[in-house]
Structure formats: structure tokens, C-alpha cells
């Protein structure tokens, strides 16, 4: 279990429940904001978006009950974004990102990250990811089965600031939107994602104002530890040993043949280690980069676990994952095409 940094702060069960409720309500408010303010039907009808809250570490302190294949990839993506801007994160910043080679899922799922500051210090991140109706590239909507490389699929956006210390970088936003079809839709969905991040920021700051930083930190530590305990208890109920499984990804009709994807789960005491093995990547748009593959593994784990809330990164502290060597179907590397990876192979 991760060591607590708030051991001297006593948390009563009622306050813990209230803080947990605020975090869950904050996430739901972010989700409702997206639904009610987005322009495209992919957001306001299909609800193809996800939201999450992170602490400054960054560790996911609450994952929304949204699109499962989004949420697992937010964990490595958030860490990549925070590391890239380490030492250059300021109040009022806003970062955009979609690149699977930088921890994303697939590039049409575009994500905004907003650092939340309290008394001059970074405390949290509010994060919103949504499936845009277009992300540039040679075909509308981004799904190009003829792409042999990722460059033929989309506009790749590595971590980049679109707001800098509270000031929108209009030149950067204009460059991104100019490369997308149906600009008005994309701009409307961008504003919805940004607004949802702001809704989350406001709620988190109100929580700190009302309950105090030390008390809130102690509650969040306990919630992370609670999730870890629940996962450890579940793993402890599974007999120690090695468990193997395999699935066949059938030929899509392009002559590549069937692919076998294997999973091996090793249980020893409480830790759980998952190994994924897959064939070499192919010049077809089903390759999965590491972030998306983490989502697939975490999704499978959570469907098996059926654990009650809280849902946060504490769940995965006792789980390690090996995606196999780079350059494979489930651990792709540039320039593998990837856009259909969220449904195949993970």
C-alpha cells in the first residue's frame, strides 16, 4: 500500500463520505456539462466522452463511469503530459493532446488537461476526453482503412498548451481547427471540453475552501487506499498460479490472416502480473499503442472484479502489466496506423 502523506490528520467517516461524494458529484457535473454544451451528436447523443480527476502526482483520484476504453489510457497519458511540461505548469494553463505515441488511445479521442492550483501550488488536474467527428487526415472522421502509416490517418497533437497562464493561444487553436473538417462542430466540442474542465476546477476549489487542504488530502489518501484494499482482497481470493487465455482476431479481409492475442495472468500473494503477447504490427489500422492497450487490460480486469466504488488509481497499485515488445499489435510503435484500435484488437 502506498505510504500516506497525511498520517497525522484524523478523518472521520462522515467527512470521508462527504469528500467522496463531492469528488463523484464533480465528475458527474463535468459529464453533464459536456453533454449539454457540446455541438456534435457524438457528444450530446452518443455520449462518447470521459472525464477524470487527478492529484498533483499525478494519480487518478476519480475515474468517471463513462467510456471504459478511454479511462485506462488517461492514466499513462496524464503522466506523459505532466512529465513533458514538468517545471512549466502554471495557473491558467490548458493542454491539449491526442497522440497515441504519447500515451493516448486513438487520435480522434482528443483530451484536455487543466491544472488546478490552490494558494499558488498545483493540487489537481481536471481531464476531459471526447471523440471528435473529425481530426484531419485524408478521410472524414479519421477512419482510413487504406492508411499504411499513422501520418495518413489524422492530425497528431502531442502535448501542447492552448492556454498559457489564462490566455488562449489563438494561433495554436486556429492551426489545429484549420486542419479539421466541420470546423464549427470541432470548435463547439473543444469549448465543451474546456468548459467541463473549468466546472471541475471550480468544484475542487470550493471543496478545498470548505473542508481545508489537509483534511481533503487525508480523505483522498484514504479513498485511494480503500480501492487498493478492495483489489488486493479480490486478488487474494484467487489461488496463486498462472492463468492463460487467448483470443483470435479474425482476418478483416485484407489478406493478413488471423491473429492470436494471448494473455497470461500470474497471481502470487496479493500482486497480479498480466502479460500480453501479440504478433508484429501490420500496415493496417488496427494496431494498438500502449495507452490504448492499458485501457483494454484494465477494462477486462474491472469486468472480472465487479468491485464497488471508489474507482481510482488505487485499484491498479497491485497490478503490473507487460504489453510485450514494441512493434507488436498490442504495443505498437510509430508509424503504425491505429485508428480502429479501440474495437480491435483490445
Helices marked H in 38-130: 41-44, 68-84
Q: List pLDDT tens digits, range 176-219.
A: 999 999 999 999 999 999 999 999 999 999 999 999 999 999 99
Please report which residue ranges of the chain form alpha helices under DSSP H. 13-37, 41-44, 68-84, 170-178, 183-211, 213-236, 290-305
Residue whose C-alpha cell is 471550480: 202
6 has pLDDT over 70:
no
Has residue 332 got a pLDDT over 90?
A: yes
pLDDT given at position 92? 98
pLDDT tens, position by position, 291-304 = 999 999 999 999 99
CA 78 – CA 132 distance, rounded (Å): 19
Residue 117 pLDDT level (bands cut at 50, 70, 90): very high
Q: What is the pLDDT of residue 4?
A: 47
Q: Band the pLDDT of 345: cuts 50, 70, 90.
A: low
Is residue 43's pLDDT more than 50? yes
For residue 23, pLDDT beyond 60:
yes
* pLDDT: which is higher, 230 or 66: 230
Of 6-20, 83-97, 157-171, 261-275, the one with minimum mean pLDDT is 6-20
DSSP element (H, E) containing 266: strand 259-267
Average pLDDT of the segment spanning 244-261: 92
Work out the average pLDDT over 136-146: 95
Amino acid at each position: 500500500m502506498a505510504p500516506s502523506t497525511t498520517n497525522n490528520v484524523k478523518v472521520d467517516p462522515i467527512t470521508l463520505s462527504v469528500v467522496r461524494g463531492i469528488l463523484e458529484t464533480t465528475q458527474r457535473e463535468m459529464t453533464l456539462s459536456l453533454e449539454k454544451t457540446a455541438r456534435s451528436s457524438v457528444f450530446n447523443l452518443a455520449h462518447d466522452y470521459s472525464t477524470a480527476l487527478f492529484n498533483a502526482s499525478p494519480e487518478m483520484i476519480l475515474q468517471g463511469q463513462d467510456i471504459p476504453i478511454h479511462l485506462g489510457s488517461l492514466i499513462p497519458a496524464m503522466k506523459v503530459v505532466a512529465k513533458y511540461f514538468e517545471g512549466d505548469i502554471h495557473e491558467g494553463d490548458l493542454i491539449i493532446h491526442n497522440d497515441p505515441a504519447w500515451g493516448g488511445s486513438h487520435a480522434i479521442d482528443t483530451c484536455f488537461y487543466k491544472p488546478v492550483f490552490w494558494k499558488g501550488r498545483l493540487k489537481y488536474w481536471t481531464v476531459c476526453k471526447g471523440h471528435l467527428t473529425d481530426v484531419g487526415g485524408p478521410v472524414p472522421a479519421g477512419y482510413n482503412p487504406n492508411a499504411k502509416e499513422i501520418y495518413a490517418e489524422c492530425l497528431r497533437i502531442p502535448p501542447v498548451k492552448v492556454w498559457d497562464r489564462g490566455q488562449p493561444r489563438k494561433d495554436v487553436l486556429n492551426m489545429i481547427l484549420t486542419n479539421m473538417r466541420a470546423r464549427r462542430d470541432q470548435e463547439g466540442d473543444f469549448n465543451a471540453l474546456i468548459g467541463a474542465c473549468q466546472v471541475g476546477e471550480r468544484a475542487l476549489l470550493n471543496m478545498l475552501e470548505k473542508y481545508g487542504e489537509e483534511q481533503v488530502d487525508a480523505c483522498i489518501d484514504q479513498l485511494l487506499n480503500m480501492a487498493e484494499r478492495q483489489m488486493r482482497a479480490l486478488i487474494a481470493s484467487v489461488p496463486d498460479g498462472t492463468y492463460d487465455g487467448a483470443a483470435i482476431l479474425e482476418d478483416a479481409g485484407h489478406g493478413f490472416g488471423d491473429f492470436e492475442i494471448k494473455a497470461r495472468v500470474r497471481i502470487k500473494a496479493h500482486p497480479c502480473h498480466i502479460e500480453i503477447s501479440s504478433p508484429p504490427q501490420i500496415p493496417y489500422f488496427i494496431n494498438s499503442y500502449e495507452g490504448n492497450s492499458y485501457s483494454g487490460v484494465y477494462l477486462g480486469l474491472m469486468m472480472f472484479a465487479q468491485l464497488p466504488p471508489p474507482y481510482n488509481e488505487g485499484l491498479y497499485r497491485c497490478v503490473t502489466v507487460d504489453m510485450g515488445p514494441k512493434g507488436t499489435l498490442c504495443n505498437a510503435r510509430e508509424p503504425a496506423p491505429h485508428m480502429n484500435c479501440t474495437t480491435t484488437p483490445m
